[in-house]
Structure formats: structure tokens, C-alpha cells
Chain A
Amino acid sequence: MASSDALLPISAGEEDPLSPYTQLSDGSRSDPNLEAHRRRRPVKGLLAVSFGLLFIASYVALIATHDGSRSNDAAIETDETAAKTSRARLAGVSEKRNYQFWKLSGDRNTPAFAWNNSMLSWQRTAFHFQPEQNWMNDPNGPLFYKGWYHFFYQYNPNAAVWGDIVWGHAVSKDLIHWVHLPIAMVADQWYDANGVWTGSATFLSDGSIVMLYTGSTDKSVQVQNLAYPEDRNDPLLLKWVKYSGNPVLVPPPGILPKDFRDPTTAWKTSAGKWRITIGSKINRTGISLVYDTTDFKTYEKLDTLLHRVPNTGMWECVDFYPVSKTAVNGLDTSVNGADVKHIVKASMDDTRIDHYAVGTYFDSNGTWIPDDPSIDVGMSTSLRYDYGKFYASKTFYDQNKGRRILWGWIGESDSEDADVQKGWSSLQSIPRTVVLDTKTGKNLVQWPVEEIKSLRLSSKKFDIEVGPGSVVPVDVDSATQLDIEAEFEIKKESLDKILGDASVVAEAEEFSCEKSGGSSVRGALGPFGFSVLADKSLSEQTPVYFYVAKGKDSKLKAFFCIDTSRSSFANDVVKPIYGSVVPVLKGEKLTMRILVDHSIVEAFGQGGRTCITSRVYPTNAIYGAAKLFLFNNAIDATVTASFRVWQMNSAFIHPYFEEAVHALSRT
């Protein structure tokens, strides 16, 4: 109710200020009649006066609080210490992220851009997972079973925008060539009537599968539900059954009904129980709740949280898994031991960024602490799987090949009108293997799955020396479906000269891909890299590049960036500059890999230490007009580039029919 809601915040905030006022009020009354009455009925007088002063106090509070954000804090939050660090929510509003108060590019008189069908149909990818039409978002329940990789996903069967969500389903033998299957789960129960949302799969000891997923009930409460395959013998897992006793978990006390979603894969505790974690929030603190179960039907909530980080907002799509400190294979989610670190990852609702941290898990009480609290999960400085457009990601253990594989939802960066016109929205990243970087021990390394190489057709190898301020066309025929692997080296003479030159200003501390002006801004040692999806005159281009900067300590720092600001003439698409610093160890050359697939560019720096995914929508640099260039925009340094460019075949993702499934079974 409005009145009680409105009253509570004010009184909660003004608790302390009130008491001195009421005490003062006692002394201020001078009317003798009133005093007499007050002595006889002290309570009433006190009440009347205190109400009056409450009225005045709240009015004063209203006009005194000019800073809207602070007043919101005082009135509504009863959270911890006043935030000194950047509050994720406010930071999200004030940072110039791609979905901030962005205006169309260009001035008011730049003509608007009208998309035509030719441009729009070019945008569809050749080898990234996407349904035949309509909207897709989070990856769900990925798993390998009886020879097939299964992929489920949030899907809208009715439109190219989010809504009416059900579980789409597809299978593949190799994570690349997919066959679309019928919808796996629809919103047909009261406990998921308003949405069959994200969930994860767990393999039981007998090899059977249980699926936990979030349902939005008919009253829009977020609950967790159990489902399992109808027929264990069907390798395609076409049909799913929902447990008759659903929901198995409802929001616990202290958790709001809309802050309880995305259960993880379960792992075995040393006590022999199964344990899961579910992201949530308490006020502005992101948290992950922990539950133990033996049968996936009844659960016991631990008093401890897996982890919590203040000022990060709601944690969506939490993921929790072990990584080996020494080996480069993946680990089953239940593995633990001295040789293992644990990763906590969460998708930040406030900023649409996936963050992770490396840390230590304590099985005895289901808690985890980060190795480096200064880059804890969700902080603006913490590590990301990907520095571009990449959200709601989820890993699974691939027991077929002993790998941990990461899926990420790649949304569109264009207008919804274009999505409606072209009839679809969103992609998944190419599945990536994930391992701990055994050389640094502090970050993960991701790499596109090996199977993508099966799409490689013809290739050309190049060794080119690129002088400062030059652009070199790379002759590769078609340039819209490419796999590029490249090694760069700044010529030693250039490096020595620049490092020794005191007039070359140290800039590594200030540089950032996003804020330093993009690839056209020239520095001593960069930027240099490739311009993909560029037309002949480079009027549209998407540079993927390294920027090497001298630090104050005269050491070099390398940054890996993608600049989409000139990727398209269209002004109704978002065109950010993405990237991050990339660790380069002694003796390493600068390496990058780029997958170009129509409107998506996935780039991997230093073997996957820094990854960037971006969506681009060129209007001219499409079909045969798209070209590839090598460039070096450095002021003084010469760079040698040694690289190979493969033409990539289509993955021919198609709907289910008997022959398709049989054909895939034979590969």
C-alpha cells in the first residue's frame, strides 16, 4: 500500500533525528492550559507534537536532499557502510556503456539509415549457433549424453524480442554442426506459467540426468523446479518430464520473490550430498545461496553463503567449478583437492557484464574466498570472460573429451526494429574450452573448441613487415567468414629506440581501449592489427588490434581492443570500443586469433587470455565488398606480422529431420 510504504522509508531514515526533536518539543510548549492538559494527558500531547515535528522533519528532508541518489539511499536502503567504491548500479548509469543514454551517432541532421533486406539478411551467421528465427538469450543445461552434445536455450517462439520464454533444444556431434530439435519445455505448469527460465544439468552417479531450472510462477514468483528426460534411452532427449512435486525450492526468508534464479550444476560434497548454488541479492549486495540435497527434491539451505560482494547488485547465472592448477584438461564439477582452484562467476544484472574470480572453496561450510579480493566478483576491476558483448554464460564438464566448455549469449547491438525486420535476434559464442592460465595462475584462458577447425577450407599464409602509418590490403577473396591466426612483433630497433627515448611519454597507466579514442589515435608503439569487415576505401571497418604502451617504469603494457566505432554508417546501432590489458609474458610474441562470421567478430588475444566479442552491422562492407586489411598506426614503430587466414565453411545448422540425424550419427 502506498501510504505505509511511503511512511516506512521516511521513518526508518529519520529514526535518530527524531528523538532530539521530540525531546526539544517537550521544553518548547508554553501554553499553560495545554501544559495542564498535557500533564493530565501527556501521551496525546506528545503524540500530536511529535507527529507535527515528524511532518516538519520529513518536509525538511524532502527539500534538503537535492542529490537524488543519496536520498534514495537514506530512504530505501538500510545497507552497510556508505559506498566508497563505485556502486555497480550507479556506475552503470554514469559510465558510457553501450546501453547508456546513448543518442544516435552523428548530429541531428545526419540522415537516418534505412536498412534493406540485402543488408539485413547478410547479418545472419554461417557457423554460430542461432535458431532459425526469433529471439534467443541464455544458454541452458548444456551436456554431453550418449554421443550427442545437447544445447538448450531461452527462446521466444513468437517474436524477435524477449518474451513468452520456453526451452529451445539442439544437438550436435561436435559442438559446431547443430540440428534443431523440437522445443524441450514449455510454460505449461502453474510453477513456470510465466516463464521456463535458466537452469543447469547434473549427472547422477548412475549416469542419469537431472535438470534444475527456474520457473516464474503464475504469480511471478521465481522458484526452482526439477525436470528429467522422459526416456533415458533416447539419445536425443526429445521429451522432458517435470517432477510432480515442483517447485523444489521457493525463495527463502529474506530473499525477494524476484531475486531467486538460475540454479547451477550440482557437485558432490565430501559428506556425500549434492550441493548447488543460486544467485540473488540482499539490497545492493550480490550473493550466492547454497543448498544441499540427496535427491534433488528436498533441500537444506546452508546458513552460510558461497560468497557475497557489496554494491554489485543482483547476481544472475552464477557458475561455480573447479580448475586444475597444473593440467590443461577440464575437471568434473565435483572434483576437489590441493591441485585445484575454484572459479565463482556471476552475471551482473546492473551492468550486463560477466565477471569471475579465482579462489579457494571450503567444502566443510560451502564458502569460497577469492585469491585477490581487490578484483572480487562483480567489481568494476574484476576479470571478465570477455570484454565485449557476452552475457549469461554457462560452463559444463564435457566428459567425452575431458574439457570444461563455456557458452555465452551474444545479444544484438542494433535496433529492435531491425531485429523484427530480419526476423531474429541473438547468437551464441563459439563454445570455448576454459582452463586456468597455468603460467600466470591468476586468470582463465579460453579458446574456441578444436572442432571448429573442421570448417576451415583453403588458407593463405603471409609474412608482412608493416611500416608506421600504413595499411596493407590482405588478398583473401571473400572476407566475411574467416579464421585468422596471427603473430606480431615490434621490430627490436623500434622498441629499443622508443624505450630509450625519454620524450616518449609513459601512457600505459592512463590508456584504456574504451576511453583512449580508438584505433585512429596513433601512439609510439601502436595500434596495429587487422581491419575486418572493411570496404575497399575503409569507410566502414572494424579494427582488431594491439596497443602497446610504455609504462612509468619503462616497462611495456599491451592492450587488446576491438573498435566498432567506424564499423557501420548506420546510426541506429551501438558502436563501442571494447578491450582490456592483456598479460604478455617474457619471451612471448603478441598473438591474436579472430573469427569473422558476418555480424559477429570474436577475437582472442595471447592465446585466449583476453577475449573480445563484438557485433557489427556494416552497410557497405558486406558480401563481396567486405575486405581484410592489415594496419600499423604507430607513429614510429615498424611491426612484422606473420599470419594465416582460412576461409570458413558454413556449419549448415538446420532443423530436425531423420536423415539429418542419421547423417550426423555417422560422422
Chain B
Amino acid sequence: MNMIKKMKMKMMVMVMMMVILSEGSMIEQTCKETPDFNLCVSLLDSDSRSSSADISGLALILIDKIKGLTTKTLNEINGLYKKRPEMKRALDECSRRYKTILNADVPEAIEAISKGVPKFGEDGVIDAGVEASACERGFKGKSPLTSLTKSMQKISNVTRAIVRMLL
């Protein structure tokens, strides 16, 4: 009797472990094909929706991260106007470019991926990285936003690789 119970428990534990391992491995297998495995895994693991998402879903989660980072950066830019008034021109440029990410790139990517024409989503995601780089350059080497713009470039590259899997 005990033996049978033990066997049943062992089976259940093994099945559960397989399930957990498999879920983890779906994210891992996907992230392996991106240029930044660790970033990809940490972004997806931090979001509870990842566990039940297909590749489209994972792409949409990362686009949501792009959106969040954009808002955070815009807030940072707004705060800098008072602290660094000499940087107004560069800040204006960044503000405009990040608003493009928020109002054009992100909605375009969400709509395209949801509707099954991922190539337009790829355009939007690539552009988020382009706008971040352009913003960074505007400071001619003295950027107060470097870690934020670098994050955007990295997330853009990772997201783009995942969107390509949908083509």
C-alpha cells in the first residue's frame, strides 16, 4: 500500500516538475534566440502573464515593457528641464522622440502582432530603439539619460528577435 502511494506521489511530483520545467523552458527556448538571453528571461519572468503566453503573447508582454520604460523616461525627461535647463534643446528632441514611441511605435506594434501581421510590429519595435539612440546622441556625449536609452535599445533588440519568430 505504502509503495503504491509513494509511487503515485513520485509520479505526481515528476509530472509537476516536468510542467514547471517545461514552462520555464518555453521562455528559455524563446529567449535563446534573442541577443540578450538574460535580459529576455528577467523581463518575462517578472511578468505573471508569461507563464500562459504563446510567442505572440510574449512579444506583447515585452512591448508593454517598452511602453513602461517609455513613460518612465518621459517622466525623467520632464524632471530634467528644471535641473538641467542648459539641455533644453536636447530634452525637447528626446521628449518628442519618446512621445513617438508611446503614440506611434507601441500602438502600431500591438495592433500588428495581435492581428497577425507581425512585420509592422517589427518596424515599431525597431523604431523604439532608433528613437532612443537619436535622443541619446542629442546630448553629444553628456547624456543624463544613458542608462534609460541603453535599456530601450536592448529591450528593442530582444523584442525584435521575438517578433521575427512570428513571421
Interface residues of A (CB under 8 A from B): 1-3, 5-7, 10, 33-34, 37, 41, 44-45, 47-48, 51-52, 54-55, 58-59, 62, 68-69, 71-72, 75, 89, 92-93, 99, 101, 103-104, 108-114, 159-164, 194-195, 216, 220, 222, 257-259, 313-314, 349-350, 352, 415-417, 419-421, 571-572
Query: Which of B3, B131, B133 interacts with A416 by CB under 8 Å?
Result: B131
In the assembled complex, the CB of B101 is this many whole angstroms from the nearest CB of chain A, namely 8
Main SS class of interface, B:
helix
Residues of A within 8 A of B140 (CB): 109, 111
B68 CB-CB contact with A under 8 Å: no
The answer to whether A48 and B25 have CB atoms under 8 Å apart is no
The residues of B that contact A101 with a CB separation of less than 8 Å are 35, 157, 160
Q: Across the interface, do B137 and A163 meet the contact criterion of CB distance under 8 Å? A: no
Asked if residues A220 and B3 are in contact (CB atoms below 8 Å), the reply is no
> Could you list 6 A-B pairs, sorted by A, with CB under 8 Å?
A58-B21, A72-B33, A101-B157, A161-B108, A162-B117, A194-B115
Residues of A within 8 A of B65 (CB): none
B54 at the interface (CB under 8 A from A): yes
With a cutoff of 8 Å between Cβ atoms, the chain A residues found around residue B130 in the complex are 104, 415-416, 572
Contacts of B117 in A (CB 8 A): 162, 195, 258
Set A99, A420, A571: member contacting B122, Cβ < 8 A:
A99
| Cα separation A556 to B165 with both chains bound (whole Å) | 42
Contact: B93 with A112, CB < 8 Å?
yes
Q: Within the complex, what minimum Cβ distance (angstroms) separates B40 from chain A? A: 11
CB neighbours of A3 from chain B (8 A): 19, 22-23
Contact partner of B51 (CB less than 8 A), chosen from A2, A44, A114, is A2
Q: How many A-B residue pairs have CB under 8 A?
A: 179
Asked if B164 and A93 make an inter-chain contact with CB atoms under 8 angstroms apart, the answer reads yes
| Contact A48/B164 with A112-B138, A415-B131, A420-B104 known, Cβ cut-off 8 Å | no
Instruction: Indicate if B18 sits at the interface (CB-CB under 8 A).
Output: yes
Known: A58-B25, A314-B167. A416 touches B104 (CB 8 A): yes
Partner of B97, one of A1, A59, A159, A417: A417
- B45-65 contacts to A, CB under 8 A, are 51-54
| Inter-subunit contact A48/B108 (CB<8 Å) | no
B side interface size, CB within 8 A: 63
Known pairs A72-B29, A101-B35, A163-B108; A7 contacts B116 (CB<8 A): no
Partner of B141, one of A109, A159, A160, A216: A109
Q: With A99-B126, A104-B130, A159-B104 as known contacts, state yes or no: A349 contacts B167, CB within 8 Å.
A: yes
Contact A6 B100 (CB under 8 A): no
Q: Min CB distance, B130 to chain A, in Å?
A: 5
Please name all residues of chain B whose beta carbon is closer than 8 Å to the beta carbon of A2 when the two chains form the complex: 23, 26, 51-53
| A54 and B25 alpha carbons, distance in the complex (Å) | 14
Most chain-B CB neighbours within 10 Å: which of A58, A104, A164? Answer: A104
Residue of A52, A68, A71, A99 with most chain B CB atoms under a 10 A cut-off? A68
B43 at interface, CB cutoff 8 A: no
Cβ 8 A contact of B22, one of A58, A103, A159, A161 = A58
Q: How far is the CA of A156 from the CA of B117 in the complex (A)?
A: 15
A72 to B165, CA, bound (A): 10
- If A45-B7, A92-B164, A416-B131 touch, whether A55 touches B115 (CB-CB below 8 Å) is no
Contact code string B99-122 (vs A, CB < 8 Å = 1, else 0): 010011101100110111101101
Task: List the 7 shortest-distance A-B pairs measured between CB atoms, nearest first.
Answer: A258-B116, A112-B137, A68-B32, A6-B22, A417-B100, A162-B120, A68-B33
